[in-house]
Chains A and B, each alone.
Chain A
């Protein structure tokens, strides 16, 4: 290597305009940069009791009902590998979402999810309050009709239960199915949202999974708001969607029934 005539001024040499100019290029970091890296946790009173919520600058990233903040922090870190710092008071949109089950206007940070998981959760997020859909419905919605079991796994990993209502996804056979906060919590939530669980169960026991109205010619899931308006005189039950379609019914545009019988 050729030797360069070495002129090495100290950075403090302000008589040299170039050195002074370079020194003046140092600048302060903008405010809020820490929140690009670290998440903040808050505790919020939710329908199922107190939950811990972690938020990034993008939105709500994680919600769990752990024993205490240490357990929540450990679970957050093992999943996200980001620092977790205490947050201030929870944002009003979050409090409202957890109190009412309506998550409109609340930003979610779902960056850590695989595309399949994200698709499953986006589909689950469309299920209206007061209604339920089978796992197979989600699988069909996302174009992976055979991936029913994987749908269940993805819902079980839902980072933001309650905010993405994975509790509204139940088994095709009328049973309520697994839940990240346990089956009793799932049933309690669905009853709070006025899902007609008892009716769905009674119909399933009689092998009825779809119901139609002969005035509208439309067939629905039994929890669909349209199905619940059918008067007894015009009510018809079906075991499969195919049976209903052969009888001249078309699938409801709200609940979009699909899939096979269990």
Chain B
């Protein structure tokens, strides 16, 4: 999937008027950002927080950019870099200050904040797989989610993670390998 067709009208809108451009940016990438955020955070409410915070940071950054910087912007990797960094920071500060252990820690427990229609659509196995993503180390989880949930090309993930493509591929391979061990019916 190429992002070029989406990129140009957004950059044009951002150059014209920051707030109108922001809405174009939001509409183009909200599903992508939210999907990635949900599979990184694991919980619906946390994913909403992360998505809102990422877009707010994006707006604040854009407000300080020179026009040339906006014209050369590649919105998708730029935005997803904000998401990835924000998630890493939240994940790390949560690790330093762990919240009290949840009472319903079972992986098949429904996410209380997820709207019921969505939850009903999702299969049991989907919920299980989503929970298994939480077993992956940080960078593997990021790489697998960006590649296979968000459907981004390797080169773009390399930009987002600030790592060489080889490293990204290795994160993905290791991540998938581990998921295959944990995910029933996925052996090849």
Contact stretch, chosen from A82-90, A142-150, A215-223, A224-232: A82-90
A21 contacts B22, CB within 8 Å?
A: no
Give the contacts of B109-137 with A (CB-CB under 8 A).
115, 118, 123, 125-126, 129-130, 133
Given known pairs A4-B170, A7-B173, A18-B180, the reply for A26 and B186 (CB within 8 Å) is no
What residues of A have a CB within 8 angstroms of the CB of B172 in the complex?
A: 8
A29 contacts B51, CB within 8 Å?
A: yes
The reply to whether the CB of B39 lies closer than 8 angstroms to some CB of chain A is yes
8 Å CB contact of A36 from B33, B52, B118, B173 = B52
B19 contacts A23, CB within 8 Å?
A: no
Categorize the interface residue count of chain B.
Answer: 35 or more
B33 contacts A6, CB within 8 Å?
A: no
Q: Name the residue of chain A whose CB is nearest to the CB of B30.
A: A29
Cα A18 to Cα B148 with chains together (Å): 10
8 Å CB contact of A7 from B51, B123, B151, B176 = B176
Q: Name the residue of chain A whose CB is nearest to the CB of B179.
A: A18
8 Å CB contact of B35 from A5, A7, A25, A82 = A25
A81 contacts B63, CB within 8 Å?
A: yes
B185 contacts A17, CB within 8 Å?
A: yes
The reply to whether the CB of B12 lies closer than 8 angstroms to some CB of chain A is no
Cα A222 to Cα B186 with chains together (Å): 81
| Prevailing SS type, chain A contact patch | loop
Give the contacts of B29-57 with A (CB-CB under 8 A).
30-31, 33-35, 38-39, 48, 51-52, 55-56
What residues of B have a CB within 8 angstroms of the CB of A256 in the complex?
A: none
What residues of A have a CB within 8 angstroms of the CB of B126 in the complex?
A: 21, 24-25
Contact with B along A111-151 (1 / 0, CB 8 A): 00000000000000000000000000000000000000000
Given known pairs A34-B26, A37-B52, the reply for A81 and B169 (CB within 8 Å) is no
The 3 A-B pairs of least Cβ separation, nearest first, read A29-B34, A36-B52, A22-B148
Using a CB–CB cutoff of 8 Å, the interface residues on chain A facing chain B are 1, 3-9, 11, 16-19, 21-30, 33-34, 36-38, 73, 77, 81-85
Using a CB–CB cutoff of 8 Å, the interface residues on chain B facing chain A are 18-19, 22-23, 26, 30-31, 33-35, 38-39, 48, 51-52, 55-56, 59-60, 63, 115, 118, 123, 125-126, 129-130, 133, 144, 147-151, 154, 167, 169-170, 172-174, 176-177, 179-180, 183, 185-186, 188
7 A-B pairs with CB atoms under 8 Å apart are A3-B170, A18-B129, A22-B129, A22-B144, A25-B35, A29-B35, A38-B22
Given contacts A21-B129, A21-B186, A73-B19, 9 further A-B contacts (CB under 8 A): A8-B169, A8-B173, A17-B185, A22-B148, A25-B39, A26-B151, A28-B31, A37-B26, A38-B22
